C-alpha cells in the first residue's frame, strides 16, 4: 500500500503530551469522556483563553467540494471521478458499505465489488483528502478499518486500476490504495452517502 502521512507534527505533539501526562484517576478520565466541555475548560486554563482573533473567527463550515478535480498521486491518472456537488460533512450521513461476502468474513475481488457498487452514492477522493486535512472529524470507529472512496478510481503508475483508502496507524491517519484485481476484506468498506 502506498501511504502519505498528514499532520505528523500534531501526532508527535500528542505523543509527547501522552508521555508526560501525570497519572489521572479513571473516574476523572471517564468524566472528561462523558463531558468534554470540562476537559476544554481544563485545557483552556492550562494554555490560556483563546486569542481575540480566535474568538472572533467564524465557525468553520465543513463543506467539501466534491466537484473539484481530485488529488492525483505522482505517476497516476484519474480513470473515473464521480462529481457530487458541494457536500457538508456529517459523519452520521456516511454509510460504510460491505458486500455480502465481506459481511460473512470472506473477501470479494475489487472488480466484482466495483460492479456491485455501481449506482450507489459513492463518496469520492475529495472527501478522503478533506478528512486527512481535518482528522478530528474522522469517526473513532473507523480506526480498525481501511475505508475506501470508490467515487474516484485511478490508473496507478503500473497501469492497474486502484482506489484510495483512509486508514489509521500509530503515525495517525494516512491514505493508502488497493488495486481492483486484489481482494477486498471484511475490514475494507466502501464509503457511501447514507440514504
In this predicted model, what pLDDT tens digit does every residue of 30-54 receive, in sequence order? 666 766 655 665 565 556 555 555 5
The more confidently predicted of residues 47 and 195 is 195
For residue 76, which of 175, 155, 176 has the smallest C-alpha distance? Answer: 155
Q: Are residues 27 and 50 in the same domain?
A: yes
Q: Are residues 66 and 123 in the same domain?
A: yes
Cβ atoms of residues 120 and 192 within 8 Å = yes
| Rounded CA Rg of the chain | 19
- Our count of domains for the chain comes to 2
The more confidently predicted of residues 47 and 164 is 164
Q: Are residues 49 and 71 in the same domain?
A: no
Asked if the model's pLDDT at residue 157 lies above 80, the reply is yes
Q: Are residues 27 and 93 in the same domain?
A: no
Structural domain containing residue 153: 60-193
**Residue written as cell 473515473?**
80
Amino acid at each position: 500500500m502506498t501511504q502519505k502521512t498528514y499532520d505528523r507534527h500534531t501526532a508527535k505533539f500528542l505523543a509527547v503530551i501522552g508521555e508526560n501526562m501525570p497519572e489521572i484517576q479513571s473516574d476523572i478520565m471517564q468524566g472528561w469522556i462523558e463531558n468534554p466541555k470540562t476537559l476544554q475548560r481544563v485545557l483552556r486554563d492550562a494554555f490560556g483563553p483563546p486569542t481575540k482573533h480566535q474568538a472572533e473567527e467564524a465557525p468553520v463550515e465543513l463543506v467539501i467540494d466534491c466537484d473539484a478535480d481530485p488529488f492525483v498521486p505522482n505517476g497516476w491518472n484519474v480513470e473515473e471521478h464521480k462529481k457530487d456537488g458541494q457536500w457538508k460533512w456529517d459523519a452520521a450521513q456516511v454509510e460504510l458499505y460491505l458486500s455480502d461476502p465481506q459481511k460473512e468474513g470472506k473477501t470479494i475481488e475489487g472488480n466484482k465489488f466495483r460492479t456491485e457498487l455501481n449506482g450507489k452514492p459513492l463518496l469520492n477522493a475529495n472527501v478522503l483528502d478533506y478528512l486527512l486535512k481535518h482528522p478530528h472529524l474522522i469517526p473513532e470507529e473507523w480506526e480498525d478499518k481501511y475505508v475506501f472512496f470508490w467515487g474516484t478510481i485511478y490508473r496507478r503508475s503500473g497501469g492497474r486500476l486502484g482506489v484510495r483508502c483512509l486508514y489509521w496507524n500509530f503515525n495517525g491517519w494516512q491514505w493508502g490504495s488497493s488495486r481492483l484485481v486484489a481482494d477486498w476484506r471484511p475490514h475494507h468498506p466502501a464509503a457511501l452517502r447514507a440514504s
